[in-house]
Amino acid sequence: MKTYRKRLSVVAVAASVSLILAGCGSSDSGSEETEAQTEETSESTADTEETEEAESEDNGEAEAPATDVVLSDAYSQALAEAAQTTVDTSEFVAEPPYKLATITQGPINGWGTIFDITMDKALEDSGVVDMDERIYAAWNGQTENQTKAMDDAIAADVDGIILTSLSRAGLSASVERATAAGIPVVTCMAGVESPEYTAEVSRNIPSMGYRSMKALIDKLGGSGKVVLLHGIAGVDAAEFWKLGAEAALAEAPGIEVVSEQYGNWSTADATDVMRTVVTQQPEIDGIWVGGLEMGPGVVNAFQEAGRDLPPLAGTNPTNGFLRLAQENSLDFDAAPFPPGAAKECVDVMIDLLEGQPIQKFVDVKDSVEGTAPYGTSDLETWFVPGLNDDFIGPLIYDEQYYADNGFSR
């Protein structure tokens, strides 16, 4: 498994380097050699996309490109740079059993619960973590809970900290303090603004927005009227997904955004705004949703109005959304944001404490199966009928484990 992961990491790094070079090609600062490499890379990327498009036509549906793009925002650029950086872990080597702190979102929703129970099992199964000495703290709605837990972990001189930061700015100083104290910090599915973290295990969040929107644009043949439904204004994930979607739209002049709303990741709010939008807009060719937990609201609004649902694309498909997609034969594309990646975070932390080299940014898309964007044709693969609507795949452990922990239907 580890060999497979390393191989994928090498591929990911190579792809990222190619894409960075491709990005440099659009600037004026590249050398002749770089320009030559860029041209070569651009051609190969174009070739890949053409091949995929040809395959897609055979399958009767459009698919997103297989490689991520590197957007121009600071976050995306920092991730691209981190993906090329190998961390020297020799200074963090420790003797097992390891004393770890895990500071997470907490079980306030399905995502947070799956994250926690997956991490618990990964830590237990590793056999090298002292579970009695483990420090666990949850966000539970307050950044202060996480900053205090970071200070507690530093004071306890833990071997490592796994952090799901719910405030990129608010946790930066805490991460810097931990690093200064010689404690490695692996940020897991949500990072910090400071570059002082040891490694980040996550998805490239803006690219999720980009790829899902690109898939919708491709499905519409590059022209049509679309509606955008975002999460909560100002929240990192919502804004990064939006950023990516806007980048894809900027490349598609034939697409007209006829309405753009915030649904607050709430089905009721999403239903309310979509009812109004559906009434107002007689022609909607596609819908992009930044957080497909709002998908039921979109489906409700169209069904109430007696209208056919247009193609749908978005991020973070829940099991509930996939169930509705199956029941209503939805045509969709989705970019997952899997809580099960908590296991990957544990694996990276253990690799780190064993002194193995790790990448500063590990994109779980390359290491966790079922994390790459998928579409309607893969619905049967990733929908888990035996688990409830709050489950968010892919399954990292067997179905019964999640059923026993509150996700049985």
* Positions that interact with other proteins (CB under 8 A): 107-110, 112-113, 230, 233, 258-262, 264-269, 271-273, 275-277, 279-280, 293, 296-297, 300, 304-305, 318, 320, 388-391, 405-407
Kindly tell me which of 357 and 385 has the beta carbon lying closer to other proteins: 385
Shortest Å, Cβ 273 to other proteins: 6
Kindly tell me which of 84 and 261 has the beta carbon lying closer to other proteins: 261
Q: Measure CA 176 to chain center.
A: 24
Question: What CA–CA distance (Å, rounded) separates 404 from 400?
Answer: 6
Kindly tell me which of 199 and 273 has the beta carbon lying closer to other proteins: 273
Shortest Å, Cβ 260 to other proteins: 6
CA angle 368, 353, 149 (to 5 degrees): 85
In 278-391, DSSP assigns E strands to: 286-289, 312-315, 332-335, 358-359, 361-363, 374-375
Shortest Å, Cβ 113 to other proteins: 3
Shortest Å, Cβ 20 to other proteins: 32
CB atoms within 10 A of CB 140: 14
Kindly tell me which of 287 and 348 has the beta carbon lying closer to other proteins: 287
Kindly tell me which of 92 and 391 has the beta carbon lying closer to other proteins: 391
Kindly tell me which of 354 and 389 has the beta carbon lying closer to other proteins: 389
Shortest Å, Cβ 359 to other proteins: 31
Kindly tell me which of 160 and 263 has the beta carbon lying closer to other proteins: 263
Residue 88 parent element (H or E): none
In 246-310, DSSP assigns E strands to: 255-262, 286-289
Distance from the first to the final alpha carbon of the chain: 31
Question: What CA–CA distance (Å, rounded) separates 311 from 332?
Answer: 6
Shortest Å, Cβ 118 to other proteins: 13
Kindly tell me which of 331 and 389 has the beta carbon lying closer to other proteins: 389
Is the sign of the CA dihedral 24, 30, 34, 37 positive or negative? positive
CB atoms within 10 A of CB 33: 8
Question: What CA–CA distance (Å, rounded) separates 117 from 125?
Answer: 12
Shortest Å, Cβ 334 to other proteins: 17
Q: How far is CA 243 from CA 32, 67, 156, 234, 290, in A?
A: 32, 18, 39, 12, 10
On whether the CB atoms of residues 256 and 227 are closer than 8 A, the answer is no
On whether the CB atoms of residues 105 and 230 are closer than 8 A, the answer is no
Kindly tell me which of 62 and 103 has the beta carbon lying closer to other proteins: 103
Kindly tell me which of 126 and 267 has the beta carbon lying closer to other proteins: 267
Shortest Å, Cβ 401 to other proteins: 14
Which structure tokens are listed for 3? 């060999």
Of 361, 374, 400, which is closest to residue 9 (Cα–Cα)?
361
Question: What CA–CA distance (Å, rounded) separates 380 from 371?
Answer: 15
Shortest Å, Cβ 290 to other proteins: 11
Is the sign of the CA dihedral 28, 30, 32, 38 positive or negative? negative
Name every residue whose Cβ is closer than 8 Å to that of residue 407 and which is 6 or more positions away in sequence. Answer: 110, 113, 114, 387, 388, 390, 391
Shortest Å, Cβ 190 to other proteins: 17
On whether the CB atoms of residues 355 and 90 are closer than 8 A, the answer is yes
